[in-house]
Amino acid sequence: MSEPVDLKTTVNLPKTDFPLKGNLSQNEPLRLQKWEAMNLYEMLREARQGKPLFVLHDGPPYANGNIHIGTALNKILKDFVIKSRSMMGHWAPYIPGWDCHGLPIEIKVEEELKKNKQELDRMAIRKAARAYANKFVDLQRQDFKRLGVLGEWDNPYITMAPAYQANIVRALSKFVERGAVYKGSRPVHWCISCVTSLAEAEVEYSDHSSYSIYVKFAFPDAAKVDPALADKRVSIIIWTTTPWTLPANLGISFNPKFEYNAVAVGDDVFIAANGLLEDVAKKLGWETYEIIGTYSGEVFDRLNARHPFVDRDSLLMLGDHVTLEAGTGAVHTAPGHGYEDFLIGREYGLEIYNPVDGRGYFMKDVEHFAGNRVVALGKNDPDGNKAVIAHLESIGALLKSEKFNHSYPHCWRCRNPVIFRATPQWFISMEKSGLNAAAVESCDNIHWHPGWGNERMKNMFRDRPDWNISRQRAWGVPITVFYCDDCGETLLDPAVMNYVADLFEKESADAWYEREVKDLLPPGTKCGCGSEKLSKENDILDVWFDSGASWISTMEPRGLPYPADVYLEGGDQFRGWFNSSLVIGLAVKNAPPYKGVISYGWAVDGEGRKMSKSLGNTVEPEKVIKQSGAEIIRLWCAAVNCYEDMRISPEILTRLSDAYRKIRNTARYCLGNLDGFDPATDNVALNEMLEIDRWALASVNEMTKRCLDAWQRYDFTDVYQAIYHNATVTLSALYFDILKDRLYTTAPKSLERRSAQTALYEIVVRIAKLSSPLLAFTSDEIWENIPGATAEAASVHLTTFPAYDEHLRNDELLARYDKLFGVRDVVMKALEEARNAKLIGAGLEAKVTITANADTRAFLESFGADLRFMFIVSGVALQDGADLKVEVAKADGEKCERCWNYTTDVGVNAAYPGACGRCAQNIDTMLTS
Give residues 647-676 in contact with RNA (rule: CB under 7 A). 647, 651-652, 655, 658-659, 661-662, 665-666, 668-669, 672
Beta strand pairing call for 603-604 and 646-647: parallel
Secondary-structure breakdown of the chain: helix, strand, coil percentages, each rounded to the nearest 5: 45, 20, 35
Query: Could you tell me the end-to-end alpha-carbon distance of the chain, in angstroms, rounded to an integer?
Result: 17
Which residue from 504, 761, 900, 912 is in contact with RNA, where contact means CB under 7 A?
900
Q: Which of residues 74 and 508 has its CB atom nearest to RNA in the complex?
A: 74
Neighbours of 160 (CB within 10 A): 25
Q: Which of residues 419 and 831 has its CB atom nearest to RNA in the complex?
A: 831
| Amino acid in position 25 | S
Q: How far is the CB of 199 from RNA (least distance, A)?
A: 5
Judged by CB under 7 A, the chain residues 674 through 713 that form the site for RNA are none
**Under the criterion CB under 7 A, does residue 831 sit at the interface with RNA?**
yes
Judged by CB under 7 A, the chain residues 169 through 198 that form the site for RNA are 186
Q: Which of residues 74 and 328 has its CB atom nearest to RNA in the complex?
A: 74
Separation of CA 16 from chain center: 40
Range 709-724 burial, b when 16+ CB lie within 10 A, else e: ebbeebbbbbbbbbbb
**Under the criterion CB under 7 A, does residue 733 sit at the interface with RNA?**
yes
Q: Which of residues 196 and 525 has its CB atom nearest to RNA in the complex?
A: 196
All residues at 6 or more sequence positions from 166 whose CB lies less than 8 Å from its CB, including other chains: 501, 502, 504, 505
Judged by CB under 7 A, the chain residues 784 through 813 that form the site for RNA are none
**Under the criterion CB under 7 A, does residue 135 sit at the interface with RNA?**
no
Closest CA to 345 of 366, 374, 314, 386: 314
Which residue from 5, 25, 34, 70 is in contact with RNA, where contact means CB under 7 A?
70
CA 260, 266, 268: angle at the middle one, nearest 5?
A: 50
Q: How far is the CB of 741 from RNA (least distance, A)?
A: 7
Judged by CB under 7 A, the chain residues 349 through 388 that form the site for RNA are none
Residues in contact with RNA, shown as a per-residue x/- string from 477 to 516 under the rule CB under 7 A? ----------------------------------------
**Under the criterion CB under 7 A, does residue 475 sit at the interface with RNA?**
no
Neighbours of 327 (CB within 10 A): 23
Judged by CB under 7 A, the chain residues 398 through 417 that form the site for RNA are none
Judged by CB under 7 A, the chain residues 20 through 39 that form the site for RNA are 20
Which residue from 452, 626, 627, 749 is in contact with RNA, where contact means CB under 7 A?
452
Q: How far is the CB of 682 from RNA (least distance, A)?
A: 21
**Under the criterion CB under 7 A, does residue 883 sit at the interface with RNA?**
no
Read off the DSSP letter of residue 61.
Answer: P
User: CA 443 to CA 134: how far, in whole Å?
Assistant: 36
Judged by CB under 7 A, the chain residues 73 through 102 that form the site for RNA are 73-74, 99, 102
Q: Which of residues 630 and 798 has its CB atom nearest to RNA in the complex?
A: 630
Which residue from 81, 322, 352, 603 is in contact with RNA, where contact means CB under 7 A?
603
Q: How far is the CB of 388 from RNA (least distance, A)?
A: 27
Secondary structure class of 534 (helix, strand, coil)? strand
To which H or E segment does residue 262 belong? strand 259-265
Q: Which of residues 397 and 659 has its CB atom nearest to RNA in the complex?
A: 659
**Sole window of 290-298, 704-712, 722-730, 747-755 interacting with RNA (rule: CB under 7 A):** 722-730
- DSSP conformation letters of 284-297: HT-S--EEEEEEEG
Separation of CA 530 from chain center: 52
**Under the criterion CB under 7 A, does residue 597 sit at the interface with RNA?**
no
- DSSP conformation letters of 164-198: HHHHHHHHHHHHHHTT-EEEEEEEEEEETTTTEEE
Judged by CB under 7 A, the chain residues 203 through 262 that form the site for RNA are none
| Amino acid in position 897 | E
Residues in contact with RNA, shown as a per-residue x/- string from 292 to 331 under the rule CB under 7 A? ----------------------------x-----------
Q: Which of residues 246 and 923 has its CB atom nearest to RNA in the complex?
A: 923
Burial class for 236, CB neighbours closer than 10 Å (0-12, 13-18, 19+) = buried
Judged by CB under 7 A, the chain residues 3 through 22 that form the site for RNA are 7-8, 11, 13-14, 20
**Under the criterion CB under 7 A, does residue 828 sit at the interface with RNA?**
yes
Q: How many residues bind RNA (CB under 7 A)?
A: 102
Phi, psi values for residue 240, rounded to 5°: -150, 155
**Under the criterion CB under 7 A, does residue 576 sit at the interface with RNA?**
yes
**Under the criterion CB under 7 A, does residue 745 sit at the interface with RNA?**
yes
All residues at 6 or more sequence positions from 719 whose CB lies less than 8 Å from its CB, including other chains: 638, 707, 710, 711, 770, 771, 774
Which residue from 193, 721, 800, 921 is in contact with RNA, where contact means CB under 7 A?
721
Q: How far is the CB of 552 from RNA (least distance, A)?
A: 19
Judged by CB under 7 A, the chain residues 619 through 648 that form the site for RNA are 639-641, 644-647
531 near 40, Cβ under 8 Å? no
181 near 295, Cβ under 8 Å? no
Helix crossing, 630-639 with 69-87: angle to 10°?
Answer: 80
183 near 427, Cβ under 8 Å? yes
Q: How far is the CB of 646 from RNA (least distance, A)?
A: 6
137 near 101, Cβ under 8 Å? no
User: CA 525 to CA 518: how far, in whole Å?
Assistant: 9
